Structure 1
């Protein structure tokens, strides 16, 4: 029988963090304001809505890693607070929150970074290691499908333009996050999926580049030809989800309200 103190600690280590609840509250309030076409300014409201939703998705991304690790044998993730959805508990706040937000603000790109520390020695089996790495970007795939459902189910008729375009932009972020994270580049989840299947010598050679993979990918996206090809592919996927390029463009422009253009069509 489990001692009472141990059960109490387990409940505390899985309790949803007030920090996460506060972020969800900002998301709900800004989303309601957009739907009602109210708020201090459309661009600022879109900024709050998309940023809060993006941080929530980052938390869910990392939660998926931690939860899969827990069921694979690493019980340490519970004690570290990873199951509370608290972004302040992540190992690298810079990689987890700061850099993804900078990528979002600077280029409109969704790219979660590695955050939770998994004790891989507690886990046996290459498939389990691959699933732990895949769990994060698969969460972004599920979010992209769920958030785009009103579009591909034709349920957005009558929705305020700002809300519709902000939601479209948010879907774009989930799609870019899923694609980029599945790249087999050291430091990204895609590499974590294939790493258990590589030879030990190859893994040792690639480990030294783990800290540079994320920055290298972001740097390549600043190359115009690569950026155009990447977003052409993203736009094609979004069209399949019922979202137009115009909607994501307006959503991005509304989000970047400091540029002085509200992004909404005249008329």
Structure 2
């Protein structure tokens, strides 16, 4: 047990909650990409069975493991052929943004439900302390992790959604230069993963911003209720 605690970036007793939250977050994120791509005229994801909320279709074991160990990871990317869009660049931005925005909306919704449970006294009416603790851990993780995934995926580094958004927004003459940069993306992530000082100045600030968003919305909802 001590060995696992040292490896994982999350407390071992909270691991089941993290896994449940991440499966939901990644599934909805990738489904959103696939859904909007299909609605905009690209059948690629549909033909591969990706327009679904079945987690098994979107699950990437290595990505989940790295997220738990290193603080960031991924699901199986949704294939998108922008040539099938009527307005490839505009619709490409929407499809890319759909994933992170789905995490944002889930975070806000989860935080609202948690605030509602607190303000209505539902939590205090439950006599089983372990059940109350489980509910609290789940909703706190659900809000904070979805806010983190929202922010993290907007980083303009390949293969993250933020990079795809920038790629569709910049003039065509810059796209070739950006694509040359893609080959270095794996090395950049490995450096962030294994060099503590880089993690301290990249992943940690994103977590802090996610905490800030979570507590901001929690305070707003509790004040309104």
Moved more, 74-83 or 173-182: 74-83
User: What does residue 168 of structure 2 align with?
Assistant: 196
Shift of residue 63, structure 1, vs aligned partner: 0.8
Does residue 98 (structure 1) correspond to residue 70 (structure 2)? The answer is: no
User: What does residue 79 of structure 2 align with?
Assistant: 117
Where structure 2 has 5 or more consecutive residues not aligned to the other structure, the ranges are 1-10, 127-131, 220-225
TM-score, with structure 1 as normaliser: 0.63
Deviations 1:46-96 (Å, cap 9, x if unpaired)? 433331331122111111001101111112322210113344545xxxxx6
- Which of 205, 217, 223 in structure 2 is aligned with 1:241? 217
User: What does residue 206 of structure 2 align with?
Assistant: 230
User: What does residue 16 of structure 1 align with?
Assistant: none
Where structure 1 has 5 or more consecutive residues not aligned to the other structure, the ranges are 1-41, 91-95, 244-267
Distance 2:72 2:102 in 1: 13
TM-score, with structure 2 as normaliser: 0.73
Q: Secondary structure at the match of 2:42?
A: coil
Whether the 8 Å CA contact 1:114–1:188 is kept in 2: the answer is no
1:66-145 pair list within 5 angstroms: 66-90=34-58, 97-107=60-70, 109=71, 111-113=73-75, 115-125=77-87, 126-145=89-108
Shift of residue 214, structure 1, vs aligned partner: 6.5
Q: Secondary structure at the match of 2:51?
A: helix
Whether the 8 Å CA contact 1:63–1:85 is kept in 2: the answer is yes
Shift of residue 124, structure 1, vs aligned partner: 2.6
User: What does residue 153 of structure 2 align with?
Assistant: 181
Q: Which has the higher helix share?
A: 2
